[in-house]
Amino acid sequence: MSNCGSSTCALEKVLQSIAISVQEQLENIFIPTSRRAILIAGPTGAGKTELSLQLAEMLGGEIVSCDSVQVYREMDIGTAKVSKQEQARVPHHLIDIRDITDPFNVVDFYEAAKAACLDIFIRGKVPIVVGGTGFYFHTLLYGPPRGPPANAELRAKLAQDLEKFGIELLYEKLEEFDPQYAKTITKGDAHKIVRALEIIEYTGKPVSAFEWKEKKEEGYFDFRAWFVFKPRELLYPILEARCDEMLKNGLLEEVVKLDRAGIRKNSTASQAIGYKQSLDFLDTAQTADDYNRFVEGFKTATRHLAKRQFTWFRKEAHFEWLDLSKTSSTQAIELIARDYEKGGPREKGSMSS
């Protein structure tokens, strides 16, 4: 029950209504009516970074990162974070905005990304949202999830179960009650597994029942969405070489520093590809066999990530697919730029043919 009197509550509602109205009027004054932005998604290693940099330079754009771990400071090598030199070429947003122990979820991303895009529009630039985190892209298009609110009592109980029984058993429980949702997340993602079980126990419904089957695009932005890729037979060797390069550049040393800083307390960061495998290796005797298993596990997990990204974006109808093995980077940039300048509806499959 509210603690405020009826007259006070009424006043608060009036003031809130005025604030919302003022915000909407300011946006109409300062932000262009046509809020056209570009989304560039794709599997890890497909070549999104350089393509987006050149596109931004051509259109006068700024890049908004759509990556669940590049938001964290000091997570550089394992995330293939854009370098300081690349950030000097084109302004970037949503990179290095959190300490390793700070939480960052999809709602945080939605609010920060929307604010970044509006800021870019106000300054007359073009927002270009780039990354590979499918859930974040989906939320930007359709708005944040509308599941039930958190239940502190259930969350505490599940946290105890996690500590007592381990993440594997909780994931098996999730598979039993909601196999559809379980397939969309990794077996070690404690945050999502606990949240899913919380929803199931609280509502009696599977998490998949709360997905966006009837959700429509918000319509606040005109997103020109692209999924750029290379076929797996070409992509996988690139990914394996990339893993080797990360190790050569000091991935393990980076993870040792992050371990001291508390990365294990952050389920999102500690479960990220490369970081999870590195932490597991650090917990071994670190023999030559341990190292070889670590490297193979790292490469396997990276390939599986790319596979999941392909699977996710096949369900995203808004994205036009662009095969970078058949289209040069110059042609791809020109194609995306023409589509941006033209605007309006486009026939599915017509742009990349």
Each residue of 114-137: pLDDT tens digit? Answer: 999 999 999 999 999 999 999 999
What does DSSP say about strands 92-93 and 126-131: parallel, antiparallel, or unpaired? unpaired
Q: What architecture is the 154-210 domain classified under in CATH?
A: Orthogonal Bundle (1.10)
Residues 181-216 have pLDDT tens digits of: 888 787 888 878 988 898 888 888 888 777 544 455
Rg (CA), the chain: 22
The whole-number pLDDT of residue 195 equals: 86
Domain chopping of the chain, boundaries = 31-143+215-342, 154-210
Helices (H), the chain: 6-30, 48-59, 84-89, 106-122, 134-142, 152-165, 167-177, 179-182, 190-203, 232-248, 251-261, 267-270, 275-282, 288-314, 329-342
pLDDT of residue 33: 54
For position 213, what pLDDT does the model report? 46
Q: What's residue 14's pLDDT? A: 57
- Domain 31-143+215-342: CATH superfamily is P-loop containing nucleotide triphosphate hydrolases (3.40.50.300)
Is the distance from CB of 299 to CB of 239 less than 8 angstroms? Answer: yes
Q: What is the pLDDT of residue 345?
A: 67
> What are the residue ranges in the chain where pLDDT is below 50?
1-6, 9, 20, 24, 29, 212-214, 350-353
Q: What is the per-residue pLDDT for 267?
A: 83
